[in-house]
Chains A and B, each alone.
Chain A
Amino acid sequence: MTELISHHDVARQRAASPGPLAAEPAVAAASGRPPVVLVDPTAGRRRTTRRRRVPPEVRRFLGPALLFALWWALTGLDVVGDRALASPAAVFGAARELWRSGDLVDSLGASLYRVGAGVLFGVGIGLALAIVAGFFRAASDVVDSAMNFLRTIPVIALLPLIIVWIGIGESAKIFLITVGVAFPIYMNTYAAIRGVDARLVEAGQTFGLGRFGLVRSVIVPGAAPGFLVGLRWALGVAWLLLVFAEQVNTDSGLGYLLNSAQSWNRTDIIVLCLVVYGILGLVSDGLVRILERTLLSWRRGFDGT
């Protein structure tokens, strides 16, 4: 008989002699087969009760915290000069200065307004197109091919045309972000609607769901994960486009502050802007996460988080 060894024993024997464990050689010799190598398939994967698990919220902050420490160390030890990269203390000072003068709040407000409006319109348009194309076969041929063609044009390349159309004002910036957001939303939501399990739709029909009931009970929840992937992607695009939009003839916003800081030669303000961008990105990601938690609460039932 090959004796199965509990994982504690395995661990102990491992410590004594590294390498996989072979069954009794005598057994192998008797049967004429090569020895069976036994390993513990759960090794290293067990949830030990002794080691307290770090809460995911804390782990999530660990990455940024590490980066911050690295930044502090680099500037504090004078590895990079003050000219190249401002120290955390200098950036904090700049933040206080700009906060007092109101510049930081104004810039933040202007940028948030542009991103917010652009995301709102972009999500609305992308969703509407995805729903039309996803539900009506005739519309899907037209809309989807058009969107796939337009998608290949880099959004930034539209900027000159947008300026000719609607000038350089606020609406041009919002328009650029709207366009950039609409595509990922459309692409992901359309694919998700089309990808909803036809067998579930059939089951819904069997049990008396009408068109509206099917949409509400089967298609919307089925397509929600895809939409959220699109939303996360779209928010990334929105922040990127914001930076571009605010480089062009602006007198407000984070991008304007960034540009000005460059001409004033103030690396502390430049780094401050970068930090603010980072925080905004984290916050918008967190918002999507909350949305995911509410819309996809049913998934928690089986992935155990």
Chain B
Amino acid sequence: MAPRLRRNVSTGNPQRPANAAGADPAPGVGGGVAVLARADAEDAGGPAAAGLGAAVRVRGLRRAFGEHVVLDGLDLTIAPGEFVALLGRSGSGKSTLIRILGGFDDGVEGEVLAARRRSVVFQESRLLPWKRVLPNVTLGLSGRDIADRGRAALAEVGLAGRERSWPATLSGGEAQRVALARALVREPELLMLDEPFGALDALTRIRMHALLQQLCRRHQPAVLFVTHDVDEAILLADRVLVLTEGRFSRDVPVDVASPRRRTDPAFDRLRATLLAELGVDEIAEGTH
């Protein structure tokens, strides 16, 4: 238990908006409205907050590398507390979108607003090898109780007692859990994950799914979760987006009864739809 990390969420079961592409101010999420900041201008100070009731608001986003247009007039709204999975073929621009929302890209056109408090978990843990686990988690934080908060976050991901380990001595799953703790200790209003479990084995993945769900339930961030795994997207998300040729070719709410099971016919239908959208023939898929 980590009471310090717990955001002041009204207890009960906050119903997440299934599709919050509009002005719906996210019912039931008590964390307060995320203050939107321009992703490309950290702490600009001014009231950049335009899209109230959203953790991400993107309008007409375009990103090109030379001639190669990767994102072409993208619109995206993510409500506070909403879990959005982003699918797309390799090279479709998913990581590019995350980098833009993270504020690392200065070559964008269009309106980009994202919650001021935001964190990213990358495919590789990106822990600083010269810092032990705890200072990695509390990187960039200041204040008197940061060590305690860091310890609490590590306990939440099941790594209590590993504060003084060096990152290079962690297993892949442990390193990703540290990365998750590092993201969560900041109490982000927007949590972005770029194929966070892509390099993990199937068993560890299942554990990480459960952990992520539990942490999201507790902290209620808006989540943008990039994955290649259609099942993972359906298992975790409130809404699934498919990025194709610079635009979202699909934006479907996941209405599979929870607990979600792969054997559920609704699960199956959605999987088939998404796989088709990704250009994978389901019969071909079924052969392995």
Contacts and interface: CB of A to CB of B under 8 A. Distances in A.
Contacts, number: 59
A203 B169 contact: no
Contacts of A199: 122, 124, 126
Given A206-B102, A221-B130, A301 B140 contact: no
A298 B128 CA distance: 10
A100 B143 CA distance: 61
Given A217-B131, A302-B169, A205 B122 contact: no
Contacts of A222: 130
Interface in B79-123: 99, 102-104, 118-120, 122
Interface string A195-230: 000011011111111000100011001100000000
Interface string A166-209: 00000000000000000000000000000000011011111111
Interface residues of A, number: 19
Contacts of B169: 301-302
Interface in A113-132: none
B186 interface: yes
A199 B123 CA distance: 11
A205 B139 CA distance: 10
A302 B120 contact: no
Interface string A292-303: 000010100110
Contacts of A296: 130
Contacts of A217: 128, 131, 139-140
Contact of A206 (B120, B130, B165): B120
Given A199-B126, A217-B131, A204 B166 contact: no
A179 B98 CA distance: 46
Contact of A207 (B166, B168, B186): B186
Interface in A278-305: 296, 298, 301-302
Nearest to A205: B104
Interface of A is mostly: helix
A44 to B, nearest CB: 26
B2 interface: no
Nearest to B141: A208
Main SS of chain B's interface residues? loop
Contact of B119 (A202, A206, A209): A206
B45 to A, nearest CB: 15
B129 interface: yes
A200 B139 CA distance: 12
Given A205-B104, A206-B119, A207-B140, A301 B126 contact: no
A213 B128 CA distance: 13
Contacts of B119: 206-207
A205 B141 contact: no
Contact of B128 (A202, A205, A221): A221
A296 B139 CA distance: 19
Contacts of A302: 166, 168-169
B177 interface: no
B142 to A, nearest CB: 9
Nearest to B104: A202
A262 B79 CA distance: 86
Nearest to B124: A199
B130 A207 contact: no
The 10 closest A-B pairs by CB, nearest first: A301-B166, A208-B140, A302-B168, A203-B126, A298-B130, A221-B130, A207-B140, A209-B140, A207-B139, A206-B120
28 contacts: A199-B122, A199-B124, A200-B128, A202-B99, A202-B104, A203-B120, A203-B122, A203-B126, A203-B128, A204-B140, A205-B103, A205-B104, A206-B104, A206-B118, A206-B119, A207-B139, A207-B141, A208-B139, A208-B186, A213-B140, A221-B130, A298-B129, A298-B131, A298-B166, A301-B166, A301-B168, A301-B169, A302-B169
